[in-house]
Amino acid sequence: MNVLVSTIQGLMKANFYIVCPSHVTTATTTGGYVFAGYGTVPGYVDKINPSTMSLVKTFTPPSGHNDVHALTSLSGYVFAGYSTTPGRVDKISPSTMSLVKAFTAPSGHGYVLSLTSLSGYVFASYHTAPGRVDKISPSTMTLVKTFTAPSGHNIVLSLTSLSGYLFASYSTPILLIGNRGEFANPGYVDKISPSTMSLVKTFTAPPGHYFVETLTSLSGYVYAGYGTFTGYVDKINPSTMTLVKTFTVPSGHNAVHTLTSLSGYVFAGYSTNPGYVDKINPTTMSLVKTFTPPAGHSYVTSLTTLSGYVFAGYETSPGRVDKISPSNMTLAKTFVAPSGHNFVSSLTTLST
């Protein structure tokens, strides 16, 4: 387990949080493969057969490309982002699971926390203050343009896209109140124009909604999950960047670490033991049903969807990925990673 994750878990026991990124792919595909990245040295990426939940092939990155913190897919390729300084993104051939080309971020753009794709480009976010998002040409793996966030919008934890816009969420600065570990700074979500890489508008979360760990989109809305002791998911109107409605998680489900969407529902995964996954009705923002994983499947780090199923990755050793039936929120099958492939840190899918 890397130092960041160890630190986070220690802080969580003290009832206040500095959160690590979450990673999400929101598109539902009709067939293909699931890809899992690991918080290891080197940072492995496994190609998984979703029918059998078995290993197809492993990508081993170049030396120094450690700790896969983010994955996304675009135009038949998989992209992996690493917790390195400067940040690095590898373009991977999924058929051979070999390196096509690597992107090295500009100086000061350290530790890739999230990746997404939009309109033929890959976007990478970083653990920086202020937060930064790089627009990358996937053909040349070179920098196109950088978005620099407003002052106080630090550490871009998550990215998603909707209706031609990019959305970024932040781990905002901490201001403790009294001796109870309360926070005075709100969570932010920025709407970004991908063509100009400039700010369109900011969503400022309600009081108590801090650390926007994860984003997803569904049916014209953006959803933000928070890494707070009482977890929340906010439904955001992307036109006005205002709050529509909030889902307050069940007792014991705590910090929302990852979100995805499928078939008209939002799914939330939690940094808990066991690692719960909640199915949420986006109209009423109410709980439909909870998936409770097998014993030992703790701390949901990533969610993705493929062929009508939800896939959950866990911070376990070895790494595990559960295939979940969303209709009844039951376990379909589990992938157990090879020895040394520990702590699933990110998931994505690629259709065939």
Stretch among 28-37, 45-54, 274-283, 328-337 having the lowest mean pLDDT: 28-37
Greater model confidence, 120 or 30: 120
Residues in CB range of 230: below 8 A, 6 or more apart: 208, 248, 249, 254
- The percent of residues in the chain predicted with pLDDT above 90, rounded, is 85
Q: How many CB atoms lie within 10 A of CB 93?
A: 13
Note the pLDDT of residue 186.
Answer: 85
Note the pLDDT of residue 28.
Answer: 35
Note the pLDDT of residue 179.
Answer: 52
Note the pLDDT of residue 300.
Answer: 98
Q: Which two tokens stand for residue 52?
A: 């059998």
pTM of the shown model: 0.90
User: Would the pLDDT of 16 be above 70?
Assistant: no
230-274: per-residue pLDDT in tens? Answer: 999 999 999 999 999 999 999 999 999 999 999 999 999 999 999
90-110: per-residue pLDDT in tens? Answer: 999 999 999 999 999 999 999
**Total structural domains within the chain:** 1
In one-letter notation, the amino acid at residue 296 is G
Q: At 152, which CATH number?
A: 2.130.10.10
Element at 176 (helix H, strand E) = strand 176-177
Note the pLDDT of residue 352.
Answer: 82
121-179: per-residue pLDDT in tens? Answer: 999 999 999 999 999 999 999 999 999 999 999 999 999 999 999 999 998 755 454 55
**Long-range contacts of range 172-177, CB-CB < 8 Å, 24 or more positions apart?**
172/210, 172/211, 174/16, 174/18, 176/16
Residues in CB range of 157: below 8 A, 6 or more apart: 19, 20, 21, 22, 113, 114, 125, 169, 170, 171, 211, 212, 213, 214
User: Would the pLDDT of 283 be above 70?
Assistant: yes
User: Would the pLDDT of 204 be above 90?
Assistant: yes
Q: How many CB atoms lie within 10 A of CB 110?
A: 18
In one-letter notation, the amino acid at residue 132 is R
Look up the domain containing 280 and give its range: 3-351
